[in-house]
Amino acid sequence: MSELQHDQHEDGTLRFLPSRLNNQPVVIGGLTADEMWVTVFGCSGAGFVMGLPLAFVITPSMPVVCALIGGTLGLLIAARVLRRLKRGRPETWFYRTLQLRLATLGPTCHRHCKNDPLTPT
């Protein structure tokens, strides 16, 4: 019996269930594609805003230059920080932590609601 036949039932279905089949692949430095794009766009936007005052003083191209520098530095820094935060934790830990913080500190938080399972007591 070959290994392929050993991994299959008689009807041809697999005996094992692949656990990482639906996970997002790691793209850059431990970040998934969604985390990478949020980081790049957020840091580029911050760099663009910081470059606006410099456009009046130095050159009109400073917002674009600062956006590129901000996106690059943000991606490098966020990759290191998030990799350390996510190490040894479940794959959904980061997203669940963000959901919890948004639920407890967000604009729609009902701090006095005792029946909400996300609100700390």
Instruction: Note whether residue 2 is domain-resident.
Output: no
| Domain residue limits at 119 | 90-121
Q: Are residues 28 and 71 in the same domain?
A: yes
Q: Are residues 29 and 83 in the same domain?
A: yes
Q: Are residues 56 and 78 in the same domain?
A: yes
Give dist(CA 116, CA 111) in Å, integer.
9
> Please, what is the average pLDDT of the chain?
80
Half-sphere exposure of 93 (CA within 13 A, CB side): 10
Q: Report pLDDT for 13.
A: 75
Q: Are residues 43 and 82 in the same domain?
A: yes
Helix axes 62-86, 93-105, angle to 10 degrees: 110
> Which residues are registered as beta bridge partners of 31?
28
> At residue 111, what is the residue type?
R
Interval 77-97 mean pLDDT: 85
